[in-house]
Amino acid sequence: QVQLVESGGGLVQPGGSLRLSCAASGSIALYVMGWYRQAPGKQRVLVAQITTDGTTIYADSVKGRFTISGDNAKNTVSLQMDDLKPEDTAIYYCKSRPRYSMSENWGQGTQVTVSS
């Protein structure tokens, strides 16, 4: 049973940066990994995704500002967030999906607040 633990959230000013980490109990090389976020009163949406071959997908709202990356040696997927905006405020969740499966595992989430 894969376990995901997010960390790195916090309070930052607009224009600032944060780096979120998602530590997996298993090898991330076997999973499609993604970061999602859910703002108050909004649905959970995809922020970024990285496949087992390194292919990445980003939401239009974060392209050029966020970067997803994986460290197979540490079984960790990260989300580097630069030029943060107030609209980036949300709970950020890490998700994993086995390469050839429709099953999903979610982390507990980490709060990101962008405010002056």
Residue 1 has pLDDT above 80, yes or no: no
CA dihedral 85, 89, 93, 97 (to 10 degrees): -50
CA angle 21, 79, 12 (to 5 degrees): 90
Quote the pLDDT of residue 2. 85
- Residue 94's contacts (CB-CB under 8 Å, 6 or more residues apart) are 4, 6, 20, 22, 33, 34, 35, 36, 77, 106, 107
pLDDT in tens, 68-97: 999 999 999 999 999 999 999 999 999 999
Burial of 47 (0-12, 13-18, 19+ CB in 10 A): buried
5 is written with which tokens? Answer: 């633990």
End-to-end CA distance of the chain: 40
pLDDT in tens, 12-61: 999 999 999 999 998 999 999 999 999 999 999 999 999 989 999 999 99
Picking from 57, 49, 40, 58, the residue whose alpha carbon sits closest to that of residue 95 is 49
